[in-house]
């Protein structure tokens, strides 16, 4: 069984470091819809995947958070990307693979994947 | 919803919305008495009698983005379809307690699923709220409290990647140790 003792070591390691994320003004905010509709459609693994990859790629200017129902339940899981000075990008019908792609191409690379955004797929339907 | 753990995540979001500062989640499995219970208890705003009566009605919701509220009704249904029971008590200004009891061996019981992911998500994405999680199988179990963790961490936030990873490992390893290979 794992104990809380290891947490002390983490504290010692982190304590001296200034939290860069809190001070970063030009933050990109990634918001995952996590109401009943989102959760039922598979938002939990999407949120976890994005947070893990953002951490892995060390994208310090990106914060991944959750929100309630966005009001477009049939398009869940929904991921919104808010970037200061830019229009909000809304990704719909997300899954883990798409989430990984969004981190790679959009969050790290700076190019939104229009194929997965709400406007594009609305036209198809 | 395909897992009990997804229902837990969903129901706990109601506690978050109700401005709880402490949410207690308990999963208890008893293989001899053949049940699995989930309790989610918060100290949020609570509900009045009228609201409480309507809360399991799918056409009742407090949200404004849509007109249906399926969370509580789905949770209730998932427990009752196994032959189990569902109970919700609440008092305005004191909080709400939701209890679902599943018949463990029922063919209609959905799997518990990734309960660790649910607890981790709740703890890491709601750092302003405290969680006490308790997991028990046949009297053996473990707990994890953000109150205790915060005391040790002394200001280092729970959403720091290293801490989030620790929470994930703690939940995963201890759940495996208690489950002893049983798939629930």
Complex prediction ipTM = 0.85
From CA B42, how far away is CA B19, in angstroms rounded?
Answer: 9
Q: A24-124 is classed in which CATH architecture?
A: 3-Layer(aba) Sandwich (3.40)
Please report, for residues B26, B38, B97, B105, B145, the alpha-carbon distance to residue B11 in angstroms, rounded to integers and kept in the order given: 13, 11, 10, 23, 19
**Any chain A CB within 8 A of the CB of B121?**
yes
Q: So what's the pLDDT on residue A3?
A: 85
A19 contacts B154? CB cut-off 8 A: no
Q: So what's the pLDDT on residue A29?
A: 94
Token pair listed for A101: 């792609």
Helix (H) or strand (E) segment spanning residue B158: none
- Of B80, B2, B73, residue with least CA distance to A40: B2
CB-closest option in A44, A70, A71 to B6? A44
- Of B7, B8, B22, B10, residue with least CA distance to B150: B22
- Of A38, A40, A45, residue with least CA distance to A92: A38
Q: Which residues in chain A have their CB less than 8 angstroms from residue B128's CB? A: none
Cα angle B154-B125-B70, degrees, rounded to a multiple of 5: 145
| Interface test mutation site (partner B, options A17, A34, A39, A47, max chain B beta carbons within 10 A) | A39
Q: What values do phi and psi take at B35, rounded to 5?
A: -140, 160
Per-residue pLDDT reduced to its tens digit, A27-84? 899 999 999 999 999 999 999 999 999 999 999 899 999 998 888 899 999 999 999 9
Query: Quick check: A16 pLDDT over 80?
Result: no
Per-residue pLDDT reduced to its tens digit, A100-118? 999 999 999 999 999 999 9
Mean pLDDT along residues A15-25 = 59
Per-residue pLDDT reduced to its tens digit, B83-140? 999 999 999 999 999 999 999 999 999 999 999 999 999 999 999 999 999 999 999 9
Mean pLDDT of the residues in chain B: 93
Query: Quick check: B66 pLDDT over 90?
Result: no
SS3 state at B7: helix
Q: So what's the pLDDT on residue A1?
A: 81
CB contact set of A121 (below 8 Å; sequence gap of 6+) = A92, A93, A115
B156 contacts A44? CB cut-off 8 A: no
Q: Which residues in chain B have their CB less than 8 angstroms from residue A6's CB? A: 166
Q: Which residues in chain B have their CB less than 8 angstroms from residue A7's CB? A: 149, 152-153, 163, 166
Query: Do residues A34 and A64 lie in contact, with contact meaning Cβ atoms separated by under 8 Å?
Result: no
Query: Do residues B22 and B129 lie in contact, with contact meaning Cβ atoms separated by under 8 Å?
Result: yes
**Any chain A CB within 8 A of the CB of B71?**
yes
Per-residue pLDDT reduced to its tens digit, B5-42? 999 999 999 999 999 999 999 999 999 999 999 999 99
- Of B63, B121, B20, B74, residue with least CA distance to A68: B63
From CA B22, how far away is CA B100, in angstroms rounded?
Answer: 19
B156 contacts A15? CB cut-off 8 A: yes
């Amino acid at each position: 069984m794992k104990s809380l003792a290891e947490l002390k070591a983490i504290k010692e390691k982190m304590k001296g470091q200034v939290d860069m994320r809190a001070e970063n003004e030009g933050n990109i905010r990634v918001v995952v819809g996590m109401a009943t509709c989102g959760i039922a459609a598979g938002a939990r693994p999407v949120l976890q995947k994005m947070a893990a990859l953002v951490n892995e790629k060390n994208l310090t200017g990106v914060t991944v958070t959750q929100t309630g129902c966005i009001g477009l339940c049939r398009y869940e899981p929904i991921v919104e990307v808010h970037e200061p000075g830019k229009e909000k990008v809304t990704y719909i019908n997300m899954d883990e693979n798409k989430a990984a792609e969004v981190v790679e191409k959009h969050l790290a690379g700076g190019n939104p994947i229009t194929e997965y955004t709400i406007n594009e797929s609305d036209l198809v339907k | 919803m395909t897992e009990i753990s997804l229902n837990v995540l969903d129901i706990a979001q109601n506690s978050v919305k109700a401005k709880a500062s402490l949410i207690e989640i308990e999963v208890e499995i008893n293989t001899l008495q053949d049940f699995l219970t989930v309790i989610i208890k918060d100290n949020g705003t609570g509900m009045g009698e009228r609201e409480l009566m309507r809360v399991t009605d799918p056409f009742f919701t407090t949200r404004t983005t849509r007109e249906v509220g399926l969370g509580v009704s789905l949770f209730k249904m998932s427990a009752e379809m196994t032959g189990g029971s569902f109970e919700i008590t609440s008092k305005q200004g004191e909080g709400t307690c939701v209890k679902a009891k599943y018949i463990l061996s029922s063919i209609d019981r959905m799997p518990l699923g990734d309960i660790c992911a649910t607890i981790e998500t709740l703890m890491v994405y709601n750092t302003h709220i405290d969680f006490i999680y308790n997991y028990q199988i046949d009297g053996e179990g473990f707990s994890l409290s953000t109150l205790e963790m915060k005391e040790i961490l002394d200001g280092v936030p729970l959403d720091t990647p290293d801490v989030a990873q620790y929470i994930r490992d703690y939940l995963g390893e201890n759940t495996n140790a208690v489950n002893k290979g049983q798939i629930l």
